Structure 1
Amino acid sequence: MGGLLIGVTAATLTGWWSPTELDMPAAAWAYLAAGPVVCLVAAPIFWGEEYGWTAYLRDRLVPGRPVATTLLTGLIWGIWHWPLPWVGYFGGELAVSQAVWSMVWWIPLSVLLEFLIGWMWSACGSVWPGAMLHSGANLVAALGMLHVLGDRVGVNESTALLCIGLTPFVAAVALARSRLR
């Protein structure tokens, strides 16, 4: 939810949205309120990706170099998502330029998420927290932004705002890790 709040704040600061324009139906409010439950219930959907990317691939790419392996895992993970805008992942057809930009935005989004998911993985050795974070990023933060901001932003703007929302958390993890060394 923090990424969603930071993303909506960034939308306000950029002029994409104003809190005075808030006109969400009750169902959207209920969906946002159910965010933590959505993360938990939908985590099994994302478990396979987290098992493959985090539990299997991550530690084998660049052993002993967590930043390098995180960047590389995020890059591979982002590229792996590239077919999705072309097959209706966003609920309909996208213009070619929107699909290409979606492909571009998937790289920083995947790298940022992998920093957080990798931190969780290294802290507890389980893919379940990462699956819940992945679920929350996709189904709560990204969809939540579309609920809050409505048609003022598209898929790519929402992804950019999600990247902005995740950045402070990644910075906090990086800062905490550097202090531990």
Structure 2
Amino acid sequence: MTAAAPPGGRRTSRHDLRSVAVFTGLAFALAWLFALPLWLGEGIADPWFAPVAVAVMGTPAIAALVVVFFVERPPHKARTLGLWPLRPARRVLGYAAAGILVPIALVLAALPVGALLGVYPADFTGFSAFREVLDEQAGALGADGIPVPVGVLVAVQVAALPMAAFINLLPALGEELGWRGWLLPKLMPLGTLPALLVSGVIWGVWHAPLVLLGYNYPDAPGWLAVVMMTGMCTVVGAVFGWLRLRSGSVWPAALAHAAFNGAGGTYLLFAAAGEHIDTTQATVLGWSGWIVPLAFVAVLVATGRFAPAPPPPPAPSGRDAPLEDAGPERAAGG
């Protein structure tokens, strides 16, 4: 692929490298700082795990905002981050819809692939693992069983997955504002594939403060957990990067990240009761789950679908005013 230059046609400069270094160092340092209470406490079993994890998700956004407001100071900060303008509306909405549906499809597709390869213990008809959980919950409430067929409950949960894209949007934006909103376009002078690979590796390794505690890969040694998380983030990050580059906006990628997180637990719906699930091999977290996303990315590459979207046409005066700076500033690295 040919290297794509950022707006204005600039190549990678020493200033760009400094900005990337500041952004990466700050995102990593804040992630470790925010996760420190878990390391000093009970790890992923700590009752504060959920709020701490959400706080960690916001660290790439903090890093991006610091770089944009205090290091680079471009005249159009919201445009630099991919937040604005949302034009052409049809293009942004189309990729937003893809951002909701494609990650859900990829997460679900990982399950039959894993079952075919013998690494995911599936029960696609009896839903025995999910049924077992429901029976335990009903018993705890003093009921004999659940009054609704398990298959109906599974169908309802799957049908409701797109709602997760909106429920999880703000935490997901905390990551995407940094990874795809700011970092990926900044790396594009390296070429599309190198930019996707570098941003994906950075994103994956950034998860280390939680992954080393057993998050996502509870049975794997720490080094393997970080390697697997980095591989998954590189593959899935390419899909999110496609949405960012083609839409010209960070919002489709943020919706995709939110939908992906919301669909991640669906492997519990279709698992066989009493069977162990090794997430280094099964689900979208494991190597078998990367097959379909890799094929999808390969098709996008072969058809030239990673070419960045052309900039939106100029808007009437005042249309791009929200989130933009009115006063003159030093435009460096925008």
After TM superposition, the score normalised by the length of structure 2 is: 0.47
Q: Equivalent of 1:6, from 99, 102, 109? A: 109
Query: Which stretch shifts more, 171-180 or 76-85?
Result: 171-180
Deviation at residue 178 of structure 1 after TM alignment? 6.8
Query: Which stretch shifts more, 71-80 or 167-176?
Result: 167-176
1:137 counterpart = 2:137: no
The sequence identity of aligned pairs, in percent, is 24
1:114 counterpart = 2:237: yes
Deviation at residue 155 of structure 1 after TM alignment? 3.0
The aligned residue for residue 187 of structure 2 is: 61
Deviation at residue 172 of structure 1 after TM alignment? 2.2
Cα distance in 2, alignment partners of residues 139 and 5 from structure 1: 12
Cα distance in 2, alignment partners of residues 74 and 113 from structure 1: 8
Query: Which stretch shifts more, 60-69 or 70-79?
Result: 60-69
Cα distance in 1, alignment partners of residues 186 and 296 from structure 2: 25
Deviation at residue 153 of structure 1 after TM alignment? 1.4
Which residue identity lines up with residue 107 of structure 2 in the other structure? L
Q: Is the 8 A contact 1:5 1:165 kept in 2?
A: no
The aligned residue for residue 94 of structure 1 is: 218
Q: Deviations over 1:22-77 (max 9, x none)?
A: 32344554332211111222122110211101121112235151111111000111
Q: Deviations over 1:4-39 (max 9, x none)?
A: 332111122112334355323445543322111112
Q: Is the 8 A contact 2:205 2:230 kept in 1?
A: yes
Q: Deviations over 1:67-99 (max 9, x none)?
A: 111110001111111221234544xx93462x4
RMSD: 2.6
Q: Is the 8 A contact 1:113 1:166 kept in 2?
A: yes
The aligned residue for residue 22 of structure 1 is: 127
Q: Is the 8 A contact 1:81 1:103 kept in 2?
A: yes
Cα distance in 2, alignment partners of residues 46 and 179 from structure 1: 22
Q: Equivalent of 1:33, from 154, 159, 178? A: 159
Q: Equivalent of 1:168, from 295, 302, 318? A: 295
Cα distance in 2, alignment partners of residues 36 and 169 from structure 1: 20
Deviation at residue 111 of structure 1 after TM alignment? 1.1
Q: Is the 8 A contact 1:53 1:73 kept in 2?
A: yes
Deviation at residue 168 of structure 1 after TM alignment? 2.5
Structure 1, unaligned runs of 5 or more: none
Three-state SS of the structure 2 residue aligned to 1:168 is helix
Higher relative CO (CA 8 A, sep ≥ 6), structure 1 or 2? 1
Three-state SS of the structure 2 residue aligned to 1:155 is coil
Cα distance in 2, alignment partners of residues 96 and 177 from structure 1: 37
Cα distance in 2, alignment partners of residues 139 and 59 from structure 1: 26
The change in CA–CA distance for 1:129 and 1:138 in structure 2 (over 3 A counts) is: same
Query: Which stretch shifts more, 128-137 or 81-90?
Result: 81-90
Cα distance in 2, alignment partners of residues 165 and 179 from structure 1: 18
How many residue pairs get aligned? The number is: 176
Q: Equivalent of 1:146, from 247, 268, 275? A: 268
Q: Is the 8 A contact 1:146 1:153 kept in 2?
A: no
Q: Deviations over 1:142-173 (max 9, x none)?
A: 21123322544133232114322322221221
After TM superposition, the score normalised by the length of structure 1 is: 0.82
